[in-house]
Amino acid sequence: MLKAKNVRFAVKNHLLLDEISFAAEKGEFIAILGPNGAGKSTLLSYISNELEQKNKTVLFKEKLISQWDKRELPLHKAKFSQHQAGDITLEIKDVVMMGRYPYFDNTPSEKDGQAVEKWMEATDTTHLKNRSYEHLSGGERQRVHLARVLTQLENNIENKIILLDEPLNNLDVSHQFKTLEIIKNLTEKNNTAIVVLHDINLASQFADKILLLKKGKLVAYDTPANVLTEEMISEVYNFPCYVSVNPINQQPLILFGQNKK
């Protein structure tokens, strides 16, 4: 579905991504984890073809991502970025409708309107539809952009990919779980999700695979049980931890800190 082969990316002699290779299969939920500055956002932007227009190291559906038609790719791939513009002067329903821009020229169709309604409902943003964006809270803004990105992928195409950079920022616990469940539902329909997360336990609970980064290098890429070990996590995050078992789903449960006794 998506293959990255020896991805290398440098800015002014500073190597941000160092020979990273991995393959994401259809239906997989992949969480990218790693400390601040590890290269998580850079990797997500790179595989999304935002950093190097002649990128020859990322294949999406067997074709170089840089060679995809610019109008066709947004129907198969959507990206949620960490930093959203703060000065949007539109009403919320129009912000979400931006996700349908690849589908119409001047006037949205009924289908476009239905897609907007569907994903506003799912992201719990319907009640905000006539509000102006600039006055929304951080978590509300986050959910509006999530609705926009999901609306973009509302079509009959199979095996789509969604790339999300810290989608849980500013969300309360119930909206964090709702968001992860939306992503999980997409992957259960054979779409692929690659998601940058900071919460290791949520990644452990929801992801099929963890891609662990440190200083631009891929440290591990495997199931949560194989990646989230005490040795690996305390080494990568440079912080002591204890790994237990989450009684809800039997996945690794990471507890940070040191026993002071």
Ligand X SMILES: Nc1ncnc2c1ncn2[C@@H]1O[C@H](COP(=O)(O)OP(=O)(O)OP(=O)(O)O)[C@@H](O)[C@H]1O
- Chain residues that interact with ligand X, rule: CB under 6 A: 11, 14, 16, 34, 36-42
Q: Nearest distance from residue 32's CB to ligand X, in Å?
A: 8
By beta-carbon proximity to ligand X, the closer residue of 35 and 139 is 35
- Least spacing, CB of residue 190 vs ligand X, in Å: 28
CB proximity list for 72: less than 8 A, separation 6 or greater: none
First and final C-alpha spacing in the chain = 49
Minimum Å distance from CB 216 to ligand X? 7
Phi-psi region of 216 (alpha: psi -120 to 50; beta: other; left: phi over 0): left
Q: Between 44 and 180, whose beta carbon lies closer to ligand X? A: 44
Closest to ligand X by CB, 40 or 93: 40
Complex with ligand X: residue 11 or 248, whichever CB lies closer: 11
Write out the DSSP string of 181-245: HHHHHHHHTT-EEEEE-S-HHHHHHH-SEEEEEETTEEEEEE-HHHH--HHHHHHHHTS-EEEEE
- The contacts found for 11-15 with CB under 8 angstroms, 24 or more apart, are 15/216
Task: Give the nearer residue to ligand X in terms of CB position, either 38 or 122.
Answer: 38
Supply the minimum distance, in Å, between the C-beta of residue 203 and ligand X.
13
In the complex, least distance from residue 213 CB atom to ligand X, rounded to whole angstroms: 7
